[in-house]
Amino acid sequence: MLTTPRGLMPHIGLFGCRNAGKSSWFNALTGQERAIVSARPGSTTDPVEKAYELLPFGPVLFVDTAGLDDEGELGMLRVQKTRAVLARVDLVVLLVSPGGLRDEDRAVLREARARGVPHLVLVNHCDVERPAPDVLAALQQEAGRCLTVSSRSDDDVAEVRQALLALLQPPAGEPAPVLVGDLLAPQDLVLLVVPIDISAPKGRLILPQVMTLREVLDRDACALVVKEQDYAARLARLDAPPALVVCDSQVVQPVVQQTPDTVPLTTFSILMSRFKGDMVQLAQGAGSIRRLLPGDRVLIAEACSHHAQDDDIGRVKIPRLLSRAANGPLEVDVVAGRDFPDDLSGYQLVVQCGGCMVTRQDMLARQRQAARQGVPVTNYGMAISVAQGVIERTLACFPAALEAYRQAGRQH
């Protein structure tokens, strides 16, 4: 759990109106007094997060939220933060009173169902008051399975944990997101081209590289990791061509030039687009880059926060490449972390990072928002490949994404 990035942990959000018992259940499920519990409404202000090893599943992240019915100017801001959490969690736990559902509770259920996110309804405070039979029946008909519980009961806490474990299992027949494993067979050789430059973290590889390497090994394939200046020589020494080459987007142009057309090739960022998001939608967004005009507005969205260095990829390199593609300067805004504008309508393009530090649900929520507002969205790797003129090559492994890119490019 200590080494699992939060972006790879399923996020379990606790929602409900004020004093529904969210913080009590947050503490009970994590076994720690992390959240403030008070009879006074509105004790929870900002979301509170806690990583927890939910055995036998593994690491998860519990998120406690402010009440859905919070009031006043500050209360409305808290509700906005709660709804932002709702957009990115993988599992919804809804706390309701024995009196039944309120309108705010129903809105949470509608959102969860619309996004296909599993939910669990806990009728809380049942050590003090139990729901009337007709109320419970109506609840179950409207909300599905409901557990009548108290956070003070060890048996109830154990029952809720078991219910969460069952909901965390992927539906039968639904494939898990994959980076590269479906492109490989056992004993295949993969070349990973990894630059070590000023932006590389000291003493380690970046997360997409680590994740790709692990998935190659899980597939019983072999990986050869090289720096870009050694790539051509190492490739020439091979007795047989590799099954796949994966490179950092920042060196994609020379790597493409040095790789035979018969060898499949893509980038780490493009692999992340299928693991963390809707790859086809992102490829479609990439097709709109050639329609950018000088003065158009572009939003660069980074999902993590870091100190920007000279020639930063999001703040310098990608804006420079896109301006070159547009034949003139663009108006570029940059947001980082969980900051993301509610209104995207003023932008001609959103360019999202690979999303290695956030959940798949978080990335998909951003893509859905862009789609609702009619704004093309792509990711760093695809944008760089378009600007470098190699996108057809780096998407060739993914026919549906390549076709979406081509169709978008033929529009207008």
Let me know whether 105 and 36 are in one domain: yes
Let me know whether 16 and 54 are in one domain: yes
Residue 290 placed within a domain? yes
| Structure-block tokens of residue 10 | 């399923």
Residue 181 placed within a domain? no
Q: What is the pLDDT of residue 75?
A: 85
Share of the chain above pLDDT 90, in %: 76
Let me know whether 240 and 261 are in one domain: yes
Let me know whether 218 and 343 are in one domain: no
Residue 180 placed within a domain? no
**Mean pLDDT of the region 140-151:** 92
Select from 59, 56, 120 the least CA-distant residue to 93. 120
Asked whether residue 54 carries a pLDDT value surpassing 80, the answer given is: yes
Residues β-bridged to residue 147: 122
Residue 183 placed within a domain? no
Domain boundary among 237, 269, 301: 269
Q: Which domain holds residue 245?
A: 191-269
Residue 309 placed within a domain? yes
Give 39's contacts (C-beta < 8 A, 6+ positions apart).
Answer: 19
Q: What is the pLDDT of residue 410?
A: 79
**Tens digits of per-residue pLDDT, 260-313?**
999 999 999 999 999 999 999 999 999 999 999 999 999 999 987 655 566 688
Asked whether residue 45 carries a pLDDT value surpassing 80, the answer given is: no
Let me know whether 378 and 350 are in one domain: yes
Residue 327 placed within a domain? yes
Decide if 127 contacts 152 (C-beta within 8 A): yes
Let me know whether 204 and 156 are in one domain: no
> pLDDT class for 4, splitting at 50, 70, 90?
confident
| b/e sequence 379-412, b meaning 16+ C-beta within 10 Å | bbbbbbbbbbebbebbbebbeebbebbeebbeee
Share of the chain above pLDDT 70, in %: 92
Q: Which helix (H) or strand (E) holds 384?
A: helix 380-387
For residue 120, count other CB atoms closer than 10 A to its CB. Answer: 21
> pLDDT class for 221, splitting at 50, 70, 90?
very high
Phi-psi region for residue 54, left (φ > 0), alpha (ψ -120 to 50) or beta? beta
Q: What is the pLDDT of residue 1?
A: 46
Let me know whether 161 and 201 are in one domain: no
Decide if 52 contacts 30 (C-beta within 8 A): yes
d(CA 345, CA 347): 6
Q: What is the pLDDT of residue 115?
A: 87
**Mean pLDDT of the region 101-120:** 93
Q: What is the pLDDT of residue 39?
A: 52
- The sign of the CA dihedral 32, 33, 34, 37 is positive
Let me know whether 195 and 164 are in one domain: no
Least confident of 33-37, 51-55, 195-199: 33-37
Average model confidence (pLDDT) for the chain? 91
Asked whether residue 44 carries a pLDDT value surpassing 70, the answer given is: no
Diameter of the chain by CA atoms?
76
Q: How many domains does the chain have?
A: 3
Q: What is the pLDDT of residue 102?
A: 94
Q: At 216, which CATH number? A: 3.40.50.11420
Q: At 288, which CATH number? A: 3.40.50.11410
Let me know whether 242 and 282 are in one domain: no
Least confident of 41-45, 87-91, 101-105, 298-302: 41-45
**Tens digits of per-residue pLDDT, 172-218?**
667 788 999 999 999 999 999 999 876 666 778 889 999 999 999 99
**Tens digits of per-residue pLDDT, 353-407?**
988 888 899 999 999 999 999 999 999 999 999 999 999 999 999 999 999 999 9
Asked whether residue 2 carries a pLDDT value surpassing 90, the answer given is: no
**Mean pLDDT of the region 115-144:** 92
Residue 177 placed within a domain? no
Decide if 90 contacts 359 (C-beta within 8 A): yes
For residue 26, count other CB atoms closer than 10 A to its CB. Answer: 28
Domain boundary among 218, 249, 269: 269
Q: What is the pLDDT of residue 146?
A: 93
Let me know whether 21 and 58 are in one domain: yes
Q: What is the DSSP letter of 1?
A: -
**Mean pLDDT of the region 217-234:** 97
Q: What is the pLDDT of residue 308?
A: 59
| pTM for the structure as a whole | 0.85
d(CA 191, CA 358): 26
d(CA 98, CA 162): 22
Let me know whether 282 and 365 are in one domain: yes
CA dihedral 377, 380, 381, 383 (to 10 degrees): 60
For residue 74, count other CB atoms closer than 10 A to its CB. Answer: 12
Q: At 11, which CATH number? A: 3.40.50.300
Let me know whether 241 and 345 are in one domain: no
